[in-house]
Every structure is written in C-alpha cells, then in structure tokens.
Amino acid sequence: MNTDPGNPIYREDDKRDYILGHFSQALDERWIEVYYQPIMRAMTGLICNEEALARWVDPVNGMILPEEFIPVIEDAKLLHKLDLYMIDLVLSDIRKYQDGKIVQVVPISVNVSKYDFEYCDMVSEILKRVEAAGVSPKYLVIEIAESVLELEHDFIKEQLNKLQSRGFKIWMDDFGRGYGSLNVLQDFDFDLIKLDMKFMKDFSKKVKTAGIIRKIVEMAEQLGVDTLAEGVETEEQLEFLREIGCDKVQGFLYSKPNPLNEILKRSDMGIGLYRENIEESEFYDQVGQASLTDLELNGDAGMLVAETFAGIGIGILEFDGVETYRLMRANAVYKEYLETIYGRNIKVSDVITYTDKDRKRIFDESVRRCLKSGNWETAYDIVSTDKVKFNTNIRLFSRDKVTGNYAILIVMVSEKRVEGEGSDRFSDTLKEDTSLNPPSFENVVPPVEDIDLQSEKEALERNNVLDSAIIRIAKLLNTFEDYNETMNRVLEELGSVISPDRICIFERVGDKINNPFELCRKGIISQKEYTQNLEYNKYFKLWADLSVDGRAVNLDSISRIRVSYRDVYCQLKLMGVKRIIVVPVFSKDEVIGFIAAANYRLDESDDTEFLLSSVAVFLSYKIANSTLVHRLVYMADNDALTSAHNRYAMIKKEAELAAGEGCVGVGFIDINGLKEINDNLGHDEGDLLIIRASKLIAKHFGMEHLYRVGGDEFVVLAPDMEKYVFERKQYQFRQELEDNDKVSMASGFVWIPDRRKVSEAIKTADRLMYEDKAKFYIAHDRRRSQKEYV
C-alpha cells in the first residue's frame, strides 16, 4: 500500500474504514485479483499445482497487501465472501483454459477459513459453483487453515468427508504452526499437509529444524499423506527436501505469485516454468508415496531385505521401456552409490547409463523380468568386491498411463557387512577394492518361473493345469475331513498353479470377519494377525459393493480406493499389498466370505481371477456349514436380542471366577418400567427399551463384561479391573443415566479383591439394585404416564 503520509488511508483507522467501505466495490469491479504461485513437484521440477492468492490492486492506493486487508475483512465476518469470490475467479480461469491449447492447467488450491463454514453452507456453495462452471473437482484443491478444525469436530469432519467423496483433495495449511497439529492428523484424513513456512526460515539457523522436518515427512509417509514445503528459497533446501521424500515445494526459488496474464505471457514466450500433465499426476503421486526410509511402507520390500544392514540404498528409476533410465528419487545411500560408480554428482532427473555392457545386460534382464511378473527380481552381480557383495533388488512400482514409462523401485543391499576396520559407506568399500568380479551365489528371493502364454499350445496346457486344479479343489471341498485342514489344502492347491504373495480365505460371522486362512509365497511374512476379528462393514463390505453381479474385484493398484475407502487403503498398505483380486463367496444371496490374492503376478492376472472365481463357487457350501456351526456356538452363549452374553454364559463365568484368583467388579442392573411399556405400548417397544439399556451399559463396562440374565435384568462381571477404574465407570454410567430421558435403570455395584467370593458379590449387588429400585418407585407413581419411563 502507498505509505505516503498524504495518502488518505495512511492512518490505521482510516485504512480500516477504507477497506470496509470499498470491499463490496472491490469485488464488483474486480479490484481484487487472483495471483497464482506455482507449486513444484520435487522429483520432476514441474508445476504440479498452483495456489490462488488474493491481491487488492486499488485504483487510488495501489497494491493493498493481504496482511493489510484480510485481517480487517476477517474481523468484520466478511471473509466467506472473499473466499467464494476467489473460487469463482479460479473456476472461471480453469474453465477458460482447461482444454490445454494455450496453457496446461494444473489443480489449483484455494484457501478456506472457519468463517466460511460458520456463515454459509460452504460445501453446497463449492459444489454448486463447480457444477455450474463445468469443471472437474480434480482441478480444485481445498486448502484449510488449522483454525477450521476449532469448529465442532463431527460437523467439520462430515463437511470435509463430503468434499473428498465428491473428488476434491483436502490440504491442511501451515502444519506445525499450532500445538494441535499431530492430533489433527489422527482425527482427519488429509491428502496433503503443508509445512509451515517457519521451518524453511529456520533451516540454516537452527540445527534441530532439519531433523524435525525429516520426522514430519516420515510420519506423513506412514499415514499415506503427501507433504509440501513452503518458503523454499535455496538449492540446499530443495536437495534436502528431495532426499527425505518431501513431495512438493513452493517458494521464491521458483517464482513469486503472478497474475494470470503474466503467466500466459511467459508461457507464450517459452520462458515460463514447465507444467505437469494432470493425467500423469496419479503416476507421480504413487512414486512420491514410496518411502526412502521405511521399507515396510513400500510393501514387501521390508520382508525381502529384513536381515540386511541398516545402511540400505533405496531409489526409484524411470524406465522408458527401451534403454533410458532417469533418476526420480534416491536416499543418501543410493545417491552416494551412484556417484561413486559414475564419479560425478548425481541429481534427480539425471539420466543413468550403465557403461559396462555386461552389467547393463544383466540389469536390463532383471528389469524386464520384473515388468513381466510385477514382483521382485534380483540383479545380483552389478557390483561386488572381495569384502562385500551388493545385490540390486528390483520391482515395478508404478506406470505412467500417458507416456507408458515405468517407475522401478531399487533396493540396494549388501549380502554381508564389511568386517574389521573400515566403513560401511559404499564409496569407502569400493575404493578399498575396485576389482569388480561377477559373483556366483543364490538370489535373495527365488526367481519366479516365467510363463509364456504366447503360443496356442502353451495356452492350452495352461488351461488344462487350471482345470485340473479346480477339479482337485472341488473334490477336497466335498470331503468330510477336518475343516481347517481342508481349507489349508485348498490354499496349497491354489499356490501350486498361481504365485501371488499371499492367498487368503475369510469367513464372515455376523458383523465380523473371523477364522482367516492364509498361504504366503516363500520369502513373504504372514499378515494373518492383521486380519483377525475385523469389522465387516468397515473393512470388507466394500468388496461386495464393488463386485458387479458377484464377480471378482480386480484392483491393479490399491491407490484407486485411497479416497473412497481410506481405512481399507491404509490397512492394505500396512500389510504390504500393492494390487489385489477379491471374490465374494455367497450363500443364498448373502455374503458369507471372501477369497483373495494379494500382489498377484501381472502376467497371471486373468488366470488368478478365473481360478479364484471358480473356487469361490465350491467354497460356498463349506463356509456356509462352518458359519452355521459358529452361529450355533455363538447363540449358545449369547442373547439374540442384545448380543450380550446370556444367563448360561454367566453361570460358566461365575464358576470360572470362583476357581481363580484376583479382583472382580460386579454390577446388577434392572430396567425400570419394562412391564408397563410391554402392557401399554407393545413388546416391540419393550424390545427397543432393552436394546437401548444394553447399549448404554456396554458403552461404560464393555459388551464382553455384560450378561443378560432375565427379561429386564443384566449383570456386569469385570475381572481384573482396578477398584478406582470400576468406581469411575459406575459414576460415569449413573451420570449419563440421569441425563437420559429414554431409559431408566436401577443398579447396584460391588468391587471385591477376591474373586472366589463372586457369588456373594452378585447377591450383594442384586440387593443394592433392589434398594435403588425402591427409591425409583417411591419417586414415580406406577400410574403415571409411560412417557416418564421412555
């Protein structure tokens, strides 16, 4: 802003009055313009996004800076009008140029404040404007300030989920500025966090800053969240961010914010920054999600090299499918290895060329094997010395659907550590002994047999193999042998003809997935512990929903469900799954189980899908019978109405406790007024009252400790619960009961240090409950309206 003392708005009060008095005019006459600052993808140096920033270009006073007019508008509760205005301008620009003929449009982030959600229906306003503009949601990124999350938790989470479900990416701005940033990541599913600019300002001043940034990026990788660093101004900062795996960068190193006409002018002159094709963003996003520090996050990489030394080299090369390799990402160890081999400084985007023809041939052969199988292959004679052998383990990580190029994950490990004095550094080891002799030793992972289906004869033989396997499996499933043994033999038969990392069979029992069976390929660690007792609706229902007419669901990349099914995506990523085929198993139109193959070979995709789909038909009868047995066992110990344990289960538990040692908390609870509800409103209403009561008790004491022992009576048996914990739960239960106008209960509680006296404790709790019930009926005449009990 013009700061000349003669300027009519030089004084603070006058400035505020001028801004508020001319705000509407500034919107109507477009004095407030959009300036775009590029956001660069760290690994490519291409513009992958832009941030839309407001600039007030006043016809009288010149440029009014954002830090001058935005706080004034915010104080006046008018910020939502500015934000919607900015969205309108951005959508207009996108619509005008999205055909790509003049400039390649990238997704643009717009800032949204908490006032947008307080003073208007922001989600509806965004959806309405995007639809009217005819713009895909993928072009508009919603960037929210941490202050938005000060609003009511469930409300704002619902609002953000609505936007994500419609295809919008949600970014969190200024991560690290507030003290609640870590809690925010736990409660909300952001697509990207934007590191506060102070981190880059302190980068060269404070020693700890680099370590903090590194840990934030590592944490984000583990959560499947992208990262962006603001305020990048030096090449040193950029190289550091690339090394630790920061996905995107923004700052004056590349460009200050500029108006659109300036950007178009530079583009027309051929001097502007190059832009990313939005169709390639999925490919680059996947590569950016690879961890260069925690191998477990890359799927089976951690399983492959779990016994190797800590100084492990990890990188990603882009391969054009012919002969050219380009470095996309590298950690410090792999970068050092490359620089030692080539004797020069290696940077991201550099072309990598193997000068030794024999080593080039061996590396190329391994790459082409992994492109065919989709699994790990080993180029094990790239470099070796008398002291150490370096294996290059390779697998296909992703593919660019626009260019057809491949992203190849490289994991460089030593077969053994260098003993005695010396260093574990690649460069020191190679300098000590430069005699590179091709070694002869076994692969880290046994090579998967290549299958060539090109000829008609081989295809016929393959079909015979599959048909024979299906027949053997069908016979197995029609025997009366032990159920668990049969299921494991079925998996073994499947594993004899297809070679995914793991094949699994799951049973559905009610709302849970139980009793999973698993077969792992050699070298792959079991993940069975992650699939025990999972909620059906949360983790498995999607496979039934995605299935068309009960057919197989084939995901060639789990990233396809990253937004729509976030919990499942994170669970699969944790288990090292990159791609998966899942077939629902039905019995009378009800889903009773699933059969799945994780990380199947790419050249076996059709065979794997056909085989699993065929076997699912025969599995149906076997699982249905097993499920029936599970249900009968469940019904023997559980109440059908409330899912609490029943009286028979309580008698068994009482005897078990009486024979043991330790403390136990006991509660006896009775519903008030159930008979009147049944007599006057019917048993359906009475059943609803019982269900409400059981849920309230279970909320505080846990369903595992709850027993329904009569029509309106419940018992709580909580072994090994400390006295203070049990008493706190009593207090919280009674407090909520006082505020509940839908259910009334009488209760009695006892805690004893010696569980052998549990029977006496139950009688004491029963007596205390009746004393409490007497107080209720003294205060409530039985002849009063039933509304007082419900």
Residue 492 is which amino acid? E
Give CA–CA dist 503/513, Å, rounded. 16
726 touches 749 (CB < 8 A):
yes
Give the orientation angle of helix 605-637 with respect to helix 647-658, to 10 degrees: 80
Q: pLDDT class for 787, splitting at 50, 70, 90?
A: very low
Least confident of 104-113, 147-156, 593-602: 147-156
DSSP character at residue 295: G
Q: pLDDT class for 783, splitting at 50, 70, 90?
A: very low
pLDDT in tens, 337-383: 788 777 788 888 788 776 565 556 667 888 888 888 777 787 765 55
β-pair type (664-671, 713-719): antiparallel
Residue 488 CA to chain centroid, in angstroms?
31
Residue 270 CA to chain centroid, in angstroms?
40
pLDDT in tens, 560-586: 887 788 888 888 887 888 899 999 998
Give CA–CA dist 209/206, Å, rounded. 6
DSSP character at residue 307: T
β-pair type (325-330, 351-352): antiparallel
**Closest alpha carbon to 35 in 228, 263, 251, 265:** 263
Mean pLDDT, residues 227-240 taken together: 92
Give CA–CA dist 98/771, Å, rounded. 75
pLDDT at 457: 57
Residues in the chain: 790
pLDDT at 631: 58
pLDDT at 298: 59
Contacts within 8 Å (CB) and 24+ apart, 568-577: 568/538, 568/539, 568/542, 569/224, 570/223, 570/224, 571/530, 571/539, 572/598, 573/224, 573/297, 573/299, 574/530, 575/527, 575/530, 576/296, 576/298, 576/299, 576/300, 576/302, 576/303, 576/501, 576/527, 577/299
Q: pLDDT class for 4, splitting at 50, 70, 90?
A: low
How big is the chain by its Cα radius of gyration, in Å?
32
Cβ contacts of 775 within 8 Å, gap of 6 or more:
746
The residue that leads in pLDDT, 85 or 529, is 85
Phi, psi of 588 (to 5 degrees): 55, 50
Structure tokens at 121: 């229906």
> Looking at the predicted structure, is the pLDDT value of residue 212 above 90?
no
Q: Which helix (H) or strand (E) holds 530?
A: none
Across the beta sheet with 512-520, the strand order is: 534-535, 512-520, 502-509, 590-598, 580-587, 553-555
Mean pLDDT, residues 774-780 taken together: 76
Plot region of 748 (φ>0 → left; ψ -120 to 50 → alpha; else → beta): beta
Taking the whole predicted model, whether its pTM rises above 0.85 is answered as no
Scanning the structure block, which residue is given the tokens 């992972």? 445
DSSP character at residue 418: P
The residue that leads in pLDDT, 12 or 279, is 279
Average pLDDT, the chain: 82
pLDDT in tens, 433-471: 444 343 333 333 333 344 343 445 566 677 778 888 888
pLDDT at 484: 86
pLDDT in tens, 83-138: 999 999 999 999 999 887 888 899 999 999 888 998 899 999 999 999 999 999 99
> Looking at the predicted structure, is the pLDDT value of residue 178 above 70?
no
Cβ contacts of 542 within 8 Å, gap of 6 or more:
561, 564, 565, 568
Tell me the DSSP string of 437-502: -------SSPPPPP----SHHHHHHHHHHHHHHHHHHHHHHTS-S-HHHHHHHHHHHHHTT---SE
Mean pLDDT, residues 751-770 taken together: 94
Torsion of CA 288, 294, 300, 303, to 10 degrees: 170
- Give 286's strand partners: none
**Closest alpha carbon to 654 in 767, 755, 723:** 755
Share of the chain above pLDDT 70, in %: 84
Give CA–CA dist 725/544, Å, rounded. 41
Give CA–CA dist 354/361, Å, rounded. 9
> Looking at the predicted structure, is the pLDDT value of residue 39 above 60?
yes
Give CA–CA dist 188/776, Å, rounded. 44
pLDDT at 373: 79
